[in-house]
Structure 1
Amino acid sequence: MENKAYDELLKASLAGTSFAHLVELAASYLNNPLVVIDNSFNIIAYSKNLQSTDFIWLEAVSRGYITIEFGATLNNWDELVAPDQNYFDVSQISAKTRRFIRLKYQNRLVGYLNILEEYSPLTQLDDKVYLFVAALLTKELLFNFQQLNLDNFCIREEEILMELLQDRFADRVHFISRIQGCSLDHNYLFHLGCIDFLHYVSYNAHRSLIQESLQAYIPESTSVFYDKQLVILMKSEEECDYQKLNQFLHSSSLTMGISDPFEDLYQLKTYLKQAQAALRLGALVYQDSQISFYERCKPYHMFEHFETNELLRFCHHLVLKLKHYDEKNDTSYVETLRAYLLFQKSIQKTANYLYVHRNTINYRIQKIKEIMGVDLDQYDLDAHMLQSCEIIQYIHFRNRNTNERKDSLR
C-alpha cells in the first residue's frame, strides 16, 4: 500500500496535478491528515480525504490560519529544535502529537508542513519519507506561487508585505505591477508597527487573543512575521485605540514600536527600521507604556551611530562633572537632572516621574546646584544640558544591553 501511494504521489507531481490533490495524495502516503501553512501562517491547503476528530485541528482548518501565539513559537524554531533535527514534534496542543517540518527553498522559508498523528504513529515512517514529502510540496508550492505571480489573481496583502520585507521586487515597476492584483490600496497614509516575539513560546493553537486584539484596536491592519517580529501595516486614517492596545500588550508582556507616517509602500523597509528602533529604544523614553513611537526616539536612534567617546564630546562640561560625581559616589543625579529639565523644572512632576517625595527632589536639585556650581533657575542652556543627560542615559542603556548580551553567551 505504501509503495502504491508513493507511486501515485510521484506520478501526480510529474503530471502537474493541482496542489490540493497533491496534498490529498501526500496525506494518503503518510496515512495521517496534514495541512500546508505559508510563511504568514495561513492554511493554504489541507487533506480532506483523511478526517480528524481533533477539535483544535478542525477549528484551525475552519478559520484558515494558525494562531499568532503558536506562529510566534514556530518563528523561534532555532531555539526549540536541535540543529541536526529536521522536524518539530509538538504534544502540548492536544492529546494528538503534531509534527512540523519547515518548507524551505534556497534557504528561504516558504511555509510549514503540519502532520497530525491520527491514524498511524509518526515514528512508523522513516524521517526521509517526511523530508521527501516536504521537498515535493515545497516545489509544488513555489510553482503555484509563480502561477499566481503570472496571473496577478487574488494576491493577498500579506504576500505583498512579505515580499517587500524580503526585498523580492526587482524595482519599483515590478512592485507596481504586482500590487495591481492585490486589494491593498497603496494611496493610504500608513504607519508600521513592530512587536517583538524573540524567545516567545506558547502552545495556544485554539484562539488567538493577539489577533483578536489587533483587529479590535488596530482596524484594517495587515500583519506578518518577519525575523522573529510581528510586523503590522497600519492605515493611519483608521482610528486606533492605543490605550486598550497598550493594556493588552502589558498583560501579555509584549512591547511595540511604531514608525513615522508614510505613503510610499515601496520604502517599507525604511519604516521597518524606524519601528524596530522605537521598539529597541522605547524604554529610554516611555516609562509606563508598552508602545513606543519613533518620533520620540529619534535622538537616541541618532546616538546609535556614534561611539561612546564621540557622544561624550557633545555633552555640556557641567553635566559631565555631575556624571563623574555619580560614578564616584553611586548616586543618580544625572537622572534627576534629566527629569527636572524634561518637566520644565517642575518639582512635583519630577517627583511623580521618579516615584519619590517632592522633598527628596528639592534636596537633590539643591545638591546638583552645589556639585555643578550653577543656579539652574538662572541658567539659559537647558536644552544643551537636557541633551547631555539623554546622551549619558543612552550610554548607560547601551552598556547595560551589551553586558546582558555577553552574560547570555557565557
Structure 2
Amino acid sequence: MALLPSMGVETMSPHPDATGETMPPPATRPRERDVITAFAEITGEAITDADLEQLLRSVCVKLCSVIGVSRSSLYLKRPDGRFRGAAGHCADKGDLTEAVKRQESGVAGDRFSREVIETGRPVLIDDVTNDPRPHRRTMEHWRVRAMLGVPLVFDGEVIGLLFVDNKDREHLYTQEDIEIAEMFAQLSALFISQAMLNVRLRSQASEIARSRNTLAYLADVHRKLTNAVLEGADIHSVVTLLSDLSAKPVVLYDEDFRVLAWAAPPTLGLDRPPAISEQIRGMPSVEAELAALSPERPSAVVPPTLSVGLGRRHLMCRLVIEGKPNGYLSIVEVGRSLEQVDANLAEHGATVLSLQILSERRQIETQGQARDDYLSDLLRNTRDKEHLLRRGPQFGIDLTHPHVLVRFTLSADPRMTASAAQRLVTRRFREILGIDEPAAVKLPGSIIVLVPLPDGGSAEELRTVRDRVSEVQTSLQAHLATGATVISGVCRDVTDFPPAAREMREVADIARSFEWSDGVLDVTELGLFRVVVSSGRVKEAVRFAHDYVHAVQGADDGVLLETWRAFVIAEGRVQGAAVALNVHENTVRYRMGKIKEITGLDPTSLDVLLSARLAFQILDFAAR
C-alpha cells in the first residue's frame, strides 16, 4: 500500500546529516549550492550509463543529504494513472528499493498523497499520529512521525512523488526545507523525465532489434521448411525439423488426438510422445481454449497455468485443411519454457503441414484412382496378363500370390456417396485385417475389395479371412447400409479374377432372390446349388426343394427330416450322423429305412445324396 515513510529534519542546531556528521545550522549553509552539487553528481552517474533504478535511488540518497534526513522514497506514475514505488533509501538500512516497489501511493484512505498529486504542491504533516490525511496502517508500519511530500512536476503534470522523513523521530520542517525540497523535486522531474524517455527509447530500440531478429528467424524457418518440402520431406521429417528449430518436443495429432507423428531433441531421452493427456483435454478451461482456436486465433497454451499432477504445458495450434479443422500441432514445454517465438513457429509449421497433408491426400487420391482403374482392368480382363503382372507392384499388388475378392452390396439408398463408402470400407479392412489399405473398385450398387492371402490360401487362412470380413461388415452397419457380402474363391492366376467377379455377382443375385441381406456368403459353400440357381429359375428351385422333402417332412414331428439332413452333412456316413445326433448308429439305420419306405428312394445312393444336399441348401437359403 501507500508510500514509504519520509525522513524528517531536526529543528535544533547543529544536527547530524544522513551519515551522522554534525551539520551547521541551516541558516549558515548555502543549501541551493548543495542542491546543484547533488545534481552534478547525479549527472555524472547518468553519463556512466547507469540504469534508471540506480539513478532514482541516487535521487533519494541526495535528497536525504540535502535536506538532512535519514529516509526517502520515490514513486512514479504508471500509464494506468497509479503511482507505484520505484526507489527508496534509509541511512541505517541502506537500499529500500525492493520494499518501496511493493507500495502504492494515492490509494483509498491516503488523502495525504492525493493532496500532493491534486495540488501539485508540497504537503507537510508535522504530526502524523493525529492527522487524518495519511494512510494509517502504512504510517504505523513505517513508524512515521512527521513527513514531507513533494510532487515531481514536468510539463504541468505530476509524474511522481518524493517523500522524506526521519524514522521514529519527530521533526519540524522549516520553510527553507520545503523550498529546497521543492527545488530538488523540480530538477529531479526534468532529469527523471529525460531518463524515462531514454529508457523508453532503449526499450523501443531493443524491441525493434528483437522484432528484426524474430523476422530473420522466421524467414529462416520458412526457408528451411519450404526447402524440406520441395526436397520431398514427408510429414514426419517436417515434424522432426520443427522439433530441431524449437529445441522442444513436437507432436502432430489427428482430429481425435491420435498421434500421427512426433519428434523430440535426443538430449531429452524421450522414448514415447509427450502427448497431451485425456485428463488435461477434459478440463473445462482447456476444452474452451481448444474450441476457441480459429484462423484468427490459431494457437493457445494449455493448460494456461500448471497445477500438481498436470504434467507439462502444450502450445496447441489448429490445422485447417480446405476450411475444415483437421488436427493439431503441439510444441511441448519440456526442458525449455514456451516463448512467443514458439507460437510463431507452430503456426508457420501448422500451415506447412496442412498444405503437405492436403498434397499427400490429393496424391493418395490420384494413386487410389489409378489403383482402382487397375483393379477394374483385372476384373474385366481388358489387359493382357503380362501387362497386369508388370503394373501390379506399382500399387502394392503382387499377383504371383493368391488373393480373394470381397463384394459388398450397397443398399439402393446409401447413407453416403460411393467414394466415401469405398474409403470407409477399405479403412475398416486395414484396421480389422491388419493389412495395408487394400485396392477396391466402385461398381453400380457394390464395392469389390482385393484381399491378399500371404499364407497361400490355406483352409485356416480362409476361415480367418471370412471371420474378419464378417467383423468388417458388422462394423459398417452403423455407418453404411449393405446387402449381402460375398467372398470369392481363391484366385491364384490373373485369369481367375474375371470369372471370380462374375461368380460373386451371380451369388449376390441369388441372395437378393432369396431376400437375404445379412451375414457373409462364401461361394465355395454353395456347391451344386450355385450351378442350379445361377440359371435364374429361383422359384422352380425352391419348389423342387420343398417337393423333394415334403413326404418326409409331413411323416412325423421332424425327427426323420433332421436325421436325413445330418446323414447328408456326414456325406452318407452312419457313424458321423449318429455322433451329430447323439444317438446309436442302429437308430440312424432304422430312421434311414423309414425314409426309404416313405419316399421310395434309397437315401444312401449317390444321386439321392446329391439331390438331398441341393434341396437342403435351397431350403437353408430360403429360410435366411
Same fold, judged at TM 0.5 (above): no
- TM-score w.r.t. structure 1 length? 0.44
